[in-house]
Amino acid sequence: MTQVRVGTTLILFLLFLAALPVPWGSAHAQQADQAALRSEVDARAEEVREKVVAWRRDLHAHPELGNREFRTAGIIAEHLRSLGMEVQTEVAHTGVVGVLRGGRPGPVVAFRADMDALPVTEMVDLPFASKATTEYNGQEVGVMHACGHDNHMAILMGVAEVLAGMRERLPGTVKFIFQPAEEGAPPGEEGGASLMVQEGVLENPRPDAIFGLHVMPQHTGFIGYRAEGAMASSQTLRITVRGRQTHGAMPWGGVDPVVVSAQIVMGLQTVVSRQSDITQAPAVVTIASIHGGLRSNIIPDSVVMVGTVRTLDLDMQGRIEERIRRTVAGIAESAGATAEVSLSRGLPITYNDPDLTRRMAPTLERVAGPGKASPSPPTTGAEDFSYYQREIPGLYFFLGVIPDSVPLQQAYPNHSPYFFADEAALPLGVRALAHLAVDFLAG
């Protein structure tokens, strides 16, 4: 009887194994293969370290504004072609897209790096500091990678070389998107992520997910990520107040749009501070420019105010817009004036897919090391990476580039002429993106 019981138990166990979706023991083989891929990523990332630094310095020394990244695009396209990729150029004016098809079947993953610089004169004392100048809005200006896009490009070029060297072992396809005009297209032109999407950058093949990073004034070695709203939507607010022109010495003879505008500016401060639940999400309403009048003794007919609205929650965005319109109209009417409010569509919220973020956060934490990667607060800055995230799941995270010797309160922010990125952060950026690719493709 004992032998019969043992035989029956063994048969049932073998039937159970046969019912499993993968052969018994294959999970161990997959784990071993994944470990080997990760080890190879780290080794190859170390091999390209000096190249990444050299690319970053060259791109930093030769910055170009949005939709004018001609030299930059040429360097990137040549590099991707040298790696044997399918390369498409002149996407959304100067964008470059490379496709790396792995040797094994699998999903498609995309990575994006932005290419454009800013009309900022560099004040950092570096041997590769930008000396470039150009005309912008009718003025001669300096040009600088003051937002760190030179780092983003160099990192992704490094990732491309790392993964291209492993192509036969990659289970899927990797798409490298180098995007122009993230800071905005020149007046009268289209550009940036929205135009890239319009021109089919997310098709043929269509990625299952997209990743991107941004260097930020955090200490080197730190990676910050956040599920859902990570960066704010950005809307341009324009208010035109119309009164009735009169002599400055006889204000009762007309309706003063200057005083009404001042009241509107103060009233708008209550939209966030008194009318919005900021425990739900941060928000900003800023008036940054006011224009009206020509002479000291003439009260003008109208005043124009321009500002920005930043929100991290779609419902709150709608409520704030409604309250802005109500506040402006009520104040204007109380003084006998009228006011027109326009809010541009602007950039959407940079929304990290919650499931994708949860799935890939362990990768970021493993690559950064203990205590070096963690959820970070949202930022009211905006990013057009959000246009990709409206189409497919995306994860956008932050890479610290401030040396430990510099207190964070003394670090210069992005867009400053003194912004400086520590090159010691570049290898971590390469490893983070490359590991995300390998881990996502392997499932």
Q: Which of 64, 122, 182, 353 is catalytic?
A: 182
SS3 call for 76 = helix
Per DSSP, the residues of 95-122 read EEEEEEE-SEEEEEEEEEEE---BS---
Cβ–Cβ under 8 Å, residues 338 and 242:
yes
How far is residue 62 from each of residues 215, 229, 388, 400, measured CA to CA in Å? 19, 33, 28, 23
Distance, CA of 293 to CA of 302 (rounded, Å): 8
- Phi-psi map region of 181: left, alpha, beta (phi>0 left; psi -120 to 50 alpha): left
Q: Which of 64, 69, 114, 116 is catalytic?
A: 116
Rounded (5°) CA angle 309-313-318: 60
Distance, CA of 391 to CA of 197 (rounded, Å): 9
Number of residues assigned to the chain: 443
H-run or E-run covering 46: helix 26-47
Q: Which residue is listed with tokens 């032109």?
A: 189
Burial code (b: 16+ CB inside 10 Å, e: under 16) for 159-193 equals bbbbbbbbbeebbbbbbbbbbbbbbbbeeeeebbb
The closest of 211, 324, 215, 304 to 260, measured between CA atoms, is 304
* 182 counts as catalytic: yes
How far is residue 338 from each of residues 76, 268, 321, measured CA to CA in Å? 52, 16, 18
Give the catalytic positions in this structure: 116, 182
